Amino acid sequence: MTDRTGDASALPVTPEECSALKKPPMFELDQETQLIQDTVRSFVADMVVPRAALIDEKDEFPFDVYRGMGELGLLAMTLPARYGGAEASTMAWAVVQEELARGSAAVADAHMVNKLMCDILLSNANEEDQAHFLPRMGRGEIICAIAQTESDTGSDVAAVKTTAKPVSGGFLITGAKQFITFAGICDLAIVVATTDRSLGRDGIGLFLVDAESEGFRRGAKSSIMGVRGLATGELVFEDCFVPESRMLAPPGTGLKRALISLNSGRIGMAAQSIGIAQAAFDLALTFAKERQAFGGPIANFQAIQFMLADMSMKIEAGRLMTRRAAWTRDAGKAFIREASEAKLFASELVAKVVDDALQIHGAHGYSREAVIERLYRDSRVYRIWEGTSQIQRIVIARQLLAA
């Protein structure tokens, strides 16, 4: 019979390492991240929730809330200290994304897009432009958009038709972009354009365009179903001159660098999905306890109980997947598959959770005055933005087959 009483020295890891393994980062937030979570939760309760319905109804960008995030340090949280940032982890950022989305999907997405634009500038802009723009973006003083999607090119980023014609000292940008977040209010735009359509992805570059530039024009505002209030619309470029120093990525590298930001964005999309799902679940649970039918609260019925149990289970699973993706990125490991899996799973679970939550509300949930009705509309886009569900499955499969 095998002796199972050996000393600790026979273990493949030390007792200290065993103790550390009992609390992996994705299972329990560290004290600093918990403090950030509590701070954001209070901000959402005080500043976001009271405004959320009006942001959606009027479809107007909440500048006061956005600047409030800047004052709180949320817009600069992942920036380097030299630019006024806190150098926060992806885990902390994902937690903030979830908490903001519980109050307003629009506010959460504004926070996410700002972070992704900061990331692109931090990785690609020259030091002068970084020092000039990043601190101001971190304070919420200026806003940067990503001009990527076109009327004929969504998931197929390599098929962009917007051109960047080389001229003396820079480039002339010509083309139109559609469904651009911040289009109506941006001070800057990172434009995905091609220097030669015949080269496909090898002709694509990234260009930083000032909204005051001649040839830059804001087109029609997009009337979208959900996540309203982001000044979504068209951007038009008509021989818009961009100096060579504002070329963020030369032809052949632009697509790759644009897609790198999508990977982080997918973690944000997953976190937002979890936040919306949690908000829907909280509403459904409260309603089920309070709604009286057949002599008691509907929460007494097993059918409702099973729905609530499934909703809670899905949310927790999605949250863990999202935090695992964030932790993997923070650990400096490849996280493409983890980000796509989290985004796919969370975006599909939020659809089911919100639908079940509305079902529990019955006719009350079908009213335009109900919060759950807004969550229902907001939740739909998460299977589209930052790569559709079909694209995520392609990415995951390719990662698995390449391993």
Q: Which CATH number is 161's domain given?
A: 2.40.110.10
Note whether 224 and 209 are same-domain residues.
Answer: yes
Q: Which of 157-161, 188-192, 239-243, 292-296 has the lowest mean pLDDT?
A: 157-161
Task: Establish if 26 belongs to a structural domain.
Answer: no
> b vs e for 369-392, b when ≥16 Cβ sit within 10 Å of the residue's Cβ?
ebbbbbbbbbbebbbebbbebebb
pLDDT of residue 244: 97
Do 260 and 348 sit in the same domain of this protein? yes
pLDDT at 243 over 80: yes
pLDDT band at 16 (very low <50, low <70, confident <90, very high): low
Lowest average pLDDT, out of 7-21, 42-56, 339-353, goes to 7-21
Q: Find the mean pLDDT for residues 47-54.
A: 98
Inside any domain, residue 5 = no
Last residue of a domain, one of 209, 228, 251: 251
DSSP state, 122?
A: H
124 shares its domain with 42: yes
- Residue 4 domain-assigned (yes or no): no
Q: Are residues 291 and 384 in the same domain?
A: yes
Domain region containing 286 = 255-402
Q: Which of 121, 143, 165 marks a domain boundary?
A: 143
322 in the same domain as 260: yes
Quick one: 152 and 137 in the same domain? Answer: no
Residue pLDDT, tens place only, 32-46:
999 999 999 999 999
- CATH number, domain at 387? 1.20.140.10
Q: What's the pLDDT score for residue 1? A: 47
Q: Flag whether 2 is in a domain.
A: no
CB distance 143 to 185 below 8 Å: yes
Instruction: Indicate the range of 253-257, 270-274, 338-342, 354-358 predicted with least confidence.
Output: 253-257
**At CA 237, angle to CA 235 and CA 242, rounded to 5?**
120
Helix/strand/coil percent split, the chain, to 5: 60, 15, 25
Q: Is the pLDDT of residue 307 over 80?
A: yes
Q: At 122, which CATH number?
A: 1.10.540.10
> Do 270 and 398 belong together in one domain?
yes
- Distance of alpha carbon 56 from alpha carbon 274, whole angstroms: 19
The predicted pLDDT at position 17 comes to: 53
Say whether pLDDT at 347 is over 50.
yes
398 and 274 assigned to the same domain: yes
The answer as to whether 290 is a domain residue is yes
Active site residues: 386
- Asked whether residue 25 is domain-assigned, the answer is no
Q: What is the mean pLDDT of residues 264-275?
A: 98
Separation CA 354–CA 278 (nearest Å): 9
- On the question of pLDDT at 219 being above 80, the answer is yes
C-alpha dist (Å) from residue 241 to 130, 146, 182, 192, 254: 20, 17, 21, 14, 18
* One domain for residues 262 and 388: yes
Q: What local confidence, expressed as pLDDT, does residue 18 receive? A: 47
Q: Does some domain include residue 11?
A: no
Residues 228 and 166 in one domain: yes
Last residue of a domain, one of 217, 251, 285: 251
Task: Please check whether residue 21 lies inside any domain of the structure.
Answer: no
Residue 402 predicted with pLDDT over 90 = yes
The pLDDT tens digits for 66-124 are: 999 999 999 999 999 999 999 999 999 999 999 999 999 999 999 999 999 999 999 99
Residues 177 and 126 in one domain: no
- Residue-wise pLDDT tens digits, 126-153: 999 999 999 999 999 999 999 999 988 7
What mean pLDDT do residues 197-222 have? 94
Q: Are residues 267 and 382 in the same domain?
A: yes
* Average confidence (pLDDT) over 249-269: 84
Number of domains within the chain: 3
* pLDDT value at 218 more than 90: yes
Average pLDDT, the chain: 93
Q: State residue 263's pLDDT score.
A: 87
